[in-house]
């Protein structure tokens, strides 16, 4: 931890006194803790936690399944995946939901296909693109 430039974590004024001090005074300490516990912050924290969990589930599922990384929709929900939370849409066919650097396509019917993505684009796996290449070229 940087102790050279210590500032109050509430008002950001430079701190004087004990090295382990984090706030100017009780006012700043109370203000900070009340702000952390506000309903607005609770909502954001819950959504952030859900997104973090969604990404972890997508990553684990991606890594534990062979290409094309498909699992039943129920399996993903059983893990705790919450479909209404995503960070972006995937702008390719088939349409899918992005969660940071992973995404989920709702296909084939009843199944999910887990993909890695870069922004709104689906990242193609090497083996995946090679087999597409071999199959598609005359
Ligand atoms: Zn302060």
Domain count, the chain: 1
Residue 93 lies in a domain: yes
Residue 107 CA, ligand 1 centroid: distance in Å: 53
Which pLDDT belongs to residue 18?
Answer: 78
Q: How far is the CA of 32 from the centre of ligand 1 (A)?
A: 9
Q: What is the structure's pLDDT at 35?
A: 87
How many whole angstroms separate alpha carbon 138 and alpha carbon 134? 8
Instruction: Answer whether residue 18 is part of any domain.
Output: no
Q: Do residues 114 and 69 touch, judged by C-beta distance below 8 A?
A: yes
Domain span at 98: 40-136
**What's the 27 CA to ligand 1 centre distance in angstroms?**
8
Report yes or no on 34 lying in a domain: no
pLDDT in tens, the chain (138 residues): 444 678 999 999 999 887 888 999 999 999 999 988 888 888 999 999 999 999 999 999 999 999 999 999 999 999 999 999 999 999 877 789 999 999 999 999 999 999 999 989 998 875 444 334 333 334
* CA 66 – ligand 1 centroid, Å: 53
């Amino acid at each position: 931890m940087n102790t050279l430039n210590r500032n109050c974590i509430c008002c950001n004024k430079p701190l004087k006194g004990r090295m382990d001090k984090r706030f100017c005074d009780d006012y700043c300490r109370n203000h900070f803790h009340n702000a952390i516990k506000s309903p607005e912050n609770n909502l954001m924290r819950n959504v952030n936690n859900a997104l973090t969990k969604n990404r972890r589930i997508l990553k684990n599922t991606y890594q534990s399944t062979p290409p094309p990384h498909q699992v039943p929709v129920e399996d993903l929900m059983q893990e705790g995946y919450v479909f209404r939370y995503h960070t972006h849409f995937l702008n390719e066919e088939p349409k899918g939901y992005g969660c940071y650097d992973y995404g989920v396509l709702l296909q084939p019917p009843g199944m999910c296909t887990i993909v890695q993505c870069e922004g709104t684009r689906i990242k193609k796996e090497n083996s995946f693109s090679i087999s597409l290449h071999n199959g598609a070229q005359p």
